[in-house]
Amino acid sequence: MNSAVFERAALKALMALPGPVLDRLSAGLETLGRSHLDSRIRFLLALSSAKPTLNSGTVGQARALYRQVIELLDVAERPLPVVVDHQVPGAQGHSLLVRRYRPAQAPRLAPAILFFHGGGFTVGSVEDYDRVCRYIAERTGAVVLSVDYRLAPEHPSPVAADDCLAAWQWLLANTAELGLDPARLAVMGDSAGGNLSAVVSQQAALAGLPVPALQVLVYPTTDGALAHPSIQNLGQGFGLDLPLLTWFRSHFIQDEKLVEDYRVSPLRNPDLAGQPATLLITATDPLRDEGLAYGEKLREAGVSVSSLDFPRLVHGFFTMGGVIPAAKAALDAICDATANHI
């Protein structure tokens, strides 16, 4: 048994302990009061305090560590009848990988979800999110297309946003060939991917392109300033600490003037009329306030916004469904709400 398999098996065994037992163990390990969280999330946070953080080494080391964490926590891989890699035109002539997942139950003219992974615009990949994208496709019955946009610091903002808009343009141009319903196209992403989903919807409108039928924003970052109250209030001990947020920001915002750019800070766009119906997901998370602020601004613009709040979960739960039952239930709720909207 290799170390990753052993660690996953050991963690699953620990997570099978009764909640009160995990709460007692957590109380002996943690220095912050987190009793309001799910018992297994709380214990995982207590364990992770002894692990290296993403910002403790090089960017390459962070990418490898992020991959290991997702491999440890994410849902199991599911076989699907169609998993195909496409090379599509990105921004500035760059070629982008887009991986297409088509589940067995997808109709001949299927709904589709263009998916953007999280990772602070610095870590994460199509490969890292392969298992959760398979799960989303199977649970929703939609075709999922996962975009390998370019990462900072090699490619700082707004490169990722421009790549993702190019992927949206490719999808619009190829719905017939891919067997997709052009009236039932959604965008979805977690954290940085939530930002990119909002940005694609906005930039599509600004470019005169069709906007998605739905945007699913999972604990999105919507403002580059890191100034909302929850950044400070929840910026220590809840899985996404302020030093890590600052580290990510130093890589993807290399020109302070870009904070005002809607491709970085979609919350700053004063005109959100005509944006797609929105499914907004929040948790106990430093990004909570800017996500809620974006939802409120969309509502003020007349956009339909449905909210799912998971206060017993923390940032990153989207890829914890393999070992945290409450995270799996939240993932299911997100998938089911998405399927009901497209």
Give the residue numbers marked as catalytic.
191, 285, 315
Using an 8 Å Cβ cutoff, are 317 and 72 in contact? Answer: no
* Nearest C-alpha neighbor of 81 from the set 141, 126, 171: 141
Query: Which contacts of 6-14 are long-range, i.e. CB under 8 A and separated by 24 or more positions?
Result: 7/72, 8/71, 8/72, 8/322, 8/323, 11/72, 11/73, 11/323, 12/322, 12/323, 14/43
What type of residue sits at position 56?
Answer: S
Question: Which residues partner with 309 through β-bridges?
Answer: 282
Cis status of the peptide bond prior to 266, with omega within 30 of 0: no
Q: What is the DSSP string of 47-92?
A: HHTTSPPGGGS-HHHHHHHHHHHHHHHSPPP---SEEEEEEEE-GG
Question: Which residues partner with 88 through β-bridges?
Answer: 96
What type of residue sits at position 286?
Answer: P
Q: What is the β-pairing status of strands 143-147 and 110-116?
A: parallel
**DSSP H stretches of helix in the chain:** 3-15, 19-29, 39-48, 59-73, 130-140, 159-173, 175-178, 192-206, 229-233, 242-252, 288-300, 325-341
